Amino acid sequence: MKEAKKIIYLDYHSTTPVDPRVAEKVFHTMTTNFGNASSVDHEIGDRAEAAIKQATCYVADLVGASPRDIIFTSGSTESINLAVQGTVIHLEQYGIKPRIAISTVEHKAVLDTCTALHKQGRIELITIGLDSQARIDLTQLKQACAIGINLLCIMAANNEVGTIYPIDKIAHIAQRYEVPFLCDASQTVGKTPICFNDWGITLLSISAHKFYGPQGVGALVVRHGYPLAPLLYGGGHQRGLRSGTLNLPGIVGLGEACRLRSIEMAVDGQEIEDKRDRLQQMLTERIPGLVINGDQENRLVGNLHISVPGIPNSAIIARVRNQLAISTGSACSSGVEAPSHVLRAMNLPEPVIEGSLRIGLGKFTTESDIIQAAERLSQAVLDISWIY
Ligand code: PLP
């Protein structure tokens, strides 16, 4: 029997493999240090509490925040919901209908939460435009802040085209107009430095599975004193902001992933960028008319978002799906037949949108992966190009 080809994983924006060093800590916590961090009557509980404290420090260190400001959640979707809905519910108690400004390329966790609140008549929604490389219009952002808004939501980097936003500048503008600023940093934590305190960010969402930690765990950093209403009621854990027994193995995994990223992200980042650039060059040489999307001067090092205009991305994916793990868009929307809202917001031509593919590299991507991926992808395009 012919041996099946190894599938090359190039979908790191969707999720990342867990670093074996992180997995080891998670396993140890699940089997040995398994206590409930709220059990105050025995040492097993004390040890669990100590492990949570240690993880809290690692998370805070990585993003330049204070440990007291970290709230653990099930991931960025929950963190964002807590930040947005928690702000709205708090303000509603004072009879205020909040005005929220978002960019049009935010993740669905932000977009759909805000759209739902808007449909319920509970918020006013302002959208901030972008150009064809998904770069934000800072003048428009400043104008939105100047009219008075209750929350500004801008991601640190886009999960599809990889464009990185000037979060320090945006936080500065928000502060000048005393606007609370929620930064969805799901794609940047552990990849580029973030200084929560120094930059003056109000709320920051983190997701462990985007940087070699486990799925289903994350955090919301909440600036000290920022008023938020909880979404979950129960045992009053985490200062009453997020009730529920703490996910000890997950949080230990998140903490260890943060500790490793603090030490390794600069070196890893350079290596990933070199491989991405090589892959981009090989694909450009082999696929005539290939388009590179996003801001090439300022994008995530592992991001390569391409279009083969005129050839539907679904046809390419169908051809390579058992050899190559790449995607047509974000993990949440790629199961749906709708074109990407990000590429639409960038106002790209229809054939570019239809032929778009997201490739994501990470620290486990090898030189040989890159060479084989370039071969498999360019061959697939060549094989089907005569049909279109
Ligand atoms: N925000 C961005 C930019 C993302 O890429 C993702 C994950 O795809 C999320 C939010 C949601 O994160 P989670 O999977 O932790 O809920």
Given the CA of residue 157, which atom of ligand 1 is nearest to it?
A: 3
Given the CA of residue 216, which atom of ligand 1 is nearest to it?
A: 15
Given the CA of residue 75, which atom of ligand 1 is nearest to it?
A: 15
């006013």: which residue's tokens? Answer: 124
Q: pLDDT class for 339, splitting at 50, 70, 90?
A: confident
Centre of ligand 1 from the C-alpha of residue 46, in Å: 32
Phi, psi of 200 (to 5 degrees): 80, 35
């082999």: which residue's tokens? Answer: 286
The protein residue whose alpha carbon is closest to atom 16 in ligand 1 is 77
Mean residue pLDDT across the chain: 95
Residues 198, 64: contact at Cβ < 8 Å? yes
Per-residue confidence (pLDDT) for residue 336, from 0 to 100: 54
Percent of the chain with pLDDT over 90: 94
154 lines ligand 1 (CB under 6 A): no
331 lines ligand 1 (CB under 6 A): yes
HSE of 353, CA atoms in CB hemisphere, 13 A: 15
Per-residue confidence (pLDDT) for residue 4, from 0 to 100: 65
> What whole-number distance in Å separates Cα of residue 266 and Cα of residue 49?
31
pTM above 0.85, yes or no: yes
Per-residue confidence (pLDDT) for residue 99, from 0 to 100: 98
218 lines ligand 1 (CB under 6 A): yes
pLDDT in tens, 165-200: 999 999 999 999 999 999 999 999 999 999 999 999
Per-residue confidence (pLDDT) for residue 136, from 0 to 100: 96
Residues 63, 206: contact at Cβ < 8 Å? yes
Give CA separation, 214 vs 112, 198, 234, 256, 318, in Å.
25, 28, 25, 10, 29
The protein residue whose alpha carbon is closest to atom 10 in ligand 1 is 76
Please say if the pLDDT value at position 300 is more than 90. yes
Q: pLDDT class for 338, splitting at 50, 70, 90?
A: confident
Please say if the pLDDT value at position 244 is more than 70. yes
Residues 253, 75: contact at Cβ < 8 Å? no
Q: How many residues does the chain have?
A: 388
Phi, psi of 380 (to 5 degrees): -60, -45
Per-residue confidence (pLDDT) for residue 1, from 0 to 100: 56
Instruction: Report DSSP letters for 11-24, one per residue.
Output: BTTT--PPPHHHHH
Per-residue confidence (pLDDT) for residue 386, from 0 to 100: 81
Question: Would you call 332 a catalytic residue per the annotation?
Answer: yes
Per-residue confidence (pLDDT) for residue 337, from 0 to 100: 59
